[in-house]
Amino acid sequence: MLNSTPDLHSSETPLLQTVGLTKRYGDFLANDRVDIEIWPRQIHALLGENGAGKSTLVKTIYGLIQPSEGEMLWHGERMVLSGPSEARSRGIGMVFQHFSLFDNLTVAENVALGLDGKETFKDMSARLEQVSNVYGLPLDPKREVWQLSVGERQRIEIVRALMQDPKFLILDEPTAVLTPQEADQLFIVLDRLKTEGRAILYISHKLEEVKRLCDTATILRLGKKVATCNPKAETASSLARMMVGTEIKEVRAGAERKITVPRLVVNDLSLEPDDPHGVRLQHISLELRGGEILGIAGVAGNGQDELFAALSGERLSQDPGTVVIEGIAAGQLSITQRRKLGAAFVPEERLGHGTAPRMKLSENALLTGHAASGMVQHGFINTTATLRAVDRATEAFDVRKAKRDPEAASLSGGNLQKFIVGREILRNPAVLVVSQPTWGVDAGAAAVIRQAVLDLAAAGAAVLVTSQDLDELAEITDRIAVMFHGRLSQPLATSEASREKLGLLMGGSSLEKDAAHAVGA
């Protein structure tokens, strides 16, 4: 059981303070003399563009990296951390954006790996169940992780941190994988932790969420602190403006789009997973016409990756007619053959799937562009054409990089995402399938990407967007369907798709009933 009132010092002293905190990597300043104060009973937002220095700062606070200059004060006294274990012993906890869980272990076994082992496994399991229930994040210690939803996996990470009785908790994009209802429950938990006297540092690109939850916001830009404000007194636009230093261009749908012929059709697609922990696709059907943007919502791990693989040609169907692109049965066609039909694909994972990390941008442009462009002529690579593709994406999508043709891994996440989306959109495809187009991307980059998707549809393309960001889907789509356990709901007109209705579908309520009726029939 957690202490209800941690032994915190007087509120006249910040719980954590950084003074001139600086981190250098060669000539690059990731953090440049950052001063920040975190107080007990406070939810403090840390905001900034991709590459602004947020990750460097929190990794320093958590002991993962050492500062080059400056110092940290804990309860007003100088603190030097040898590593995360010392941070945890002082009462600093962190929940990372990307989970560190072993699928084949139970919930209790995963939690045990992150604790100090001072109690028996039986006692720890009982305490795990108690803490998770007290905070409204119920977990069954005996269940294996691969059986759990992404939201339940997020609970494991949070409860594991809470079991260490933290005085200060860092959360990195904690709602990125949650349904609206799960996010609301998390906010209740965080408000409770605040009333118990704990401090929370909250990192998120969801500015409306920050306004709702946080008491204070520190904003970083290019490694420097540029502002501290009360987010409740700001608008999402003013927060975004402080983050990027300029006005964020408003995303505009433009004139009413002309809806044309079906360009992507899926006919009763069922597919067994190639991963033992994957999701089986069950009787998926959809029709997407030119000029239309269809959104697919859903919590990660419900078949979105398997659907993307089936549409892109990474997984082939037994029946060629289950996937039809531009009127051609494509279910057994390769990725390259589908690209030649006019399709383009943007996967969720930027490094390793969307790009080869150690290859130059021009080489990555060649990997996807050789099938339907002038990059290869008579069997020879046209390097001028590959570089031209990089230059076009750089200019059109404001890709910021140190030189003309760097390795993909050298770009920040947001800039690499802009390059990948730009690389595909600038081919003017007839069909674009894009997964998580603005995942972990700052407000400025997100606006550029969303506008490009709208413009492509206005030019006559059919666009399928998979996203966990309901605000994003509401902004750019015409219809929204929901994936749950490998099934796809009937699409709703976006104007009729409330967050509550989508959240229920994301939790599987209506889809499970439909599946039961289908079995009964």
pLDDT of res. 456: 96
Comparing 37-51, 242-256, 261-275, the range with the smallest average pLDDT is 242-256
Each residue of 53-101: pLDDT tens digit? 898 999 999 999 999 999 999 999 999 999 999 999 999 999 987 788 9
Q: The domain at 250-342+430-521 falls in which architecture?
A: 3-Layer(aba) Sandwich (3.40)
Tokens 């803490």 locate to: 131
Q: What angle do helix axes 383-397 and 443-458 make, rounded to 10 degrees?
A: 110
pLDDT at 517 exceeding the cut of 50:
no
Q: Would you list the domain boundaries of the chain? A: 16-91+165-244, 250-342+430-521, 349-428
pLDDT at 9 exceeding the cut of 50:
no
pLDDT of res. 510: 61
Pick the most confident of 151-155, 473-477, 513-517: 473-477
pLDDT of res. 245: 86
Each residue of 231-241: pLDDT tens digit? 999 998 899 89
| Cα–Cα distance, 339 to 337 (Å, whole number) | 5
The rounded mean pLDDT for the chain is 90
* Structure-token pair, residue 295: 């959104």
Number of Cβ within 10 Å of residue 131's Cβ equals 19
- Output the pTM of the full model: 0.76
pLDDT of res. 344: 96
**Could you check whether 16-91+165-244 and 250-342+430-521 share the same CATH topology?**
yes
Q: The domain at 16-91+165-244 falls in which architecture?
A: 3-Layer(aba) Sandwich (3.40)
pLDDT at 40 exceeding the cut of 80:
yes
| Cα–Cα distance, 99 to 63 (Å, whole number) | 18
pLDDT at 13 exceeding the cut of 50:
yes
Number of Cβ within 10 Å of residue 4's Cβ equals 9
Chain centre distance of CA 312 = 21
| Cα–Cα distance, 145 to 133 (Å, whole number) | 18
The arithmetic mean of pLDDT across residues 115-125, rounded, is 88
| Cα–Cα distance, 90 to 276 (Å, whole number) | 40
pLDDT at 42 exceeding the cut of 90:
yes
Q: What are phi and psi of 325, to 5 degrees?
A: -115, 120
Q: What are phi and psi of 404, to 5 degrees?
A: -65, -45
Question: Closest Cα to residue 165, out of 131, 125, 122?
Answer: 131
Chain centre distance of CA 478 = 22
Burial class (CB in 10 A: 0-12, 13-18, 19+), 128: buried
pLDDT of res. 299: 81
Each residue of 481-513: pLDDT tens digit? 999 999 999 999 999 999 889 988 988 776 555
pLDDT of res. 248: 80
pLDDT-derived band of residue 516, with 50, 70 and 90 as boundaries?
very low
pLDDT at 128 exceeding the cut of 50:
yes
Residue 324's DSSP bridge partners are 265, 329
pLDDT at 519 exceeding the cut of 50:
no
pLDDT of res. 156: 92
pLDDT of res. 513: 52
Q: What does the angle CA 202 – CA 204 – CA 209 come to, to the nearest 5 degrees? A: 90
pLDDT at 351 exceeding the cut of 90:
no
pLDDT of res. 2: 52
Which regions of 90-198 does DSSP assign to beta strands (E)?
Answer: 92-95, 168-172
pLDDT of res. 147: 84
pLDDT of res. 521: 41
pLDDT of res. 1: 44
* Structure-token pair, residue 451: 């506008």
pLDDT at 350 exceeding the cut of 80:
yes
| Cα–Cα distance, 31 to 237 (Å, whole number) | 25
CA distances, 433 to each of 296, 326, 339, 347, 425 (Å): 11, 14, 11, 8, 10
Q: Pairing state of beta strands 376-377 and 380-381?
A: antiparallel
Each residue of 131-190: pLDDT tens digit? 999 888 889 999 999 888 777 888 899 999 999 999 999 998 888 777 777 888 899 999
Task: Provide the phi-psi class of 398: left if phi over 0, else alpha when psi is between -120 and 50, else beta.
Answer: left
pLDDT of res. 12: 78
Strands of 16-25's sheet in order across: 28-38, 16-25, 69-74, 77-79
Long-range contacts of 306-310 (CB under 8 A, 24+ apart): 306/271, 306/273, 306/278, 306/279, 306/280, 306/281, 306/486, 307/269, 307/281, 307/466, 307/483, 307/488, 308/345, 308/347, 308/348, 308/433, 308/435, 308/466, 310/269, 310/271, 310/281
